[in-house]
Amino acid sequence: SSSTVVESKTGVSFPSVLYDSKRLLGIGLRKKSLLGLKNIDVYAFGVYADDNDLKKFLSEKYGKLSNPEFKENKEFNEYLIENDICMTVRLQIVYSKLSIRSVRSAFEESVGSRLQKFGGSENKDLLQRFTSQFKDEYKIPRGSLIDLSRERGHVLCTKIDGKEVGSIQSQLLCQSILDLYIGEDPFDRQAKEDIEHNLASLLHQ
């Protein structure tokens, strides 16, 4: 299918199917407050999951639940975050003045706090491995596309504008990245709700 979904505030569009088999579950906006003075829109994002993995999972684990029960099931997002389901979070940069330095410090804060949450203290190496993929000479102007994909076996693969920049096998890292978008304290609460709603409606197809 060639249809797209548009993020209303930024006008950024996302294909409803990615890499042939990944279905768009929801879109949202990552904002950042600068010294508490103003909020900037950093990027729009789309969360995708592999259709076959989803169907398999939904029928095995949740096939017998009715929709309202499913919606109340808090375990569901945790399951999606933790398990070997192929997913992609696509980021489309909207802020035009991103420096690699500010990107690094932002994800030390965001990804770092999740590594801490899920992994306890031994995670400096992992954060270091993740950030060292992003070389100082990379440019990510407005319009850049970053795909963060969890591939089979908890391999986090990163592409910038379609070009693979690295991959790291780590369940902890995959889980920490996905938690930013569909976990307890997500960047965009509405996006997380939309994703839950879409998953619930998939049960009734």
**Which residues make up the interface to ligand DAO (CB under 6 A)?**
30, 32, 34, 42-43, 91, 97-98, 100, 102-103, 106-107, 110-111, 134, 138, 140, 146, 148, 160, 180
SS3 call for 66? coil
Q: How far is the CB of 1 from ligand DAO (least distance, A)?
A: 27
Q: How far is the CB of 178 from ligand DAO (least distance, A)?
A: 11
Q: How far is the CB of 144 from ligand DAO (least distance, A)?
A: 8
> Which of 20, 137 has the CB closer to ligand DAO?
137
Q: How many CB atoms lie within 10 A of CB 118?
A: 17
Q: How far is the CB of 184 from ligand DAO (least distance, A)?
A: 16
Provide the H-helix boundaries in the chain.
Answer: 51-57, 67-72, 75-82, 100-119, 124-131, 171-182, 189-202
> Which of 89, 199 has the CB closer to ligand DAO?
89
> Which of 76, 112 has the CB closer to ligand DAO?
112
SS3 call for 8? coil
Q: How far is the CB of 98 from ligand DAO (least distance, A)?
A: 6
> Which of 73, 144 has the CB closer to ligand DAO?
144
Closest CA to 18 of 144, 171, 149: 149
In angstroms, rounded to a whole number, what is the distance separating the alpha carbons of residues 171 and 85? 11
Overall residue count recorded for the chain in this entry: 205
Closest CA to 89 of 146, 11, 153: 146
> Which of 74, 97 has the CB closer to ligand DAO?
97
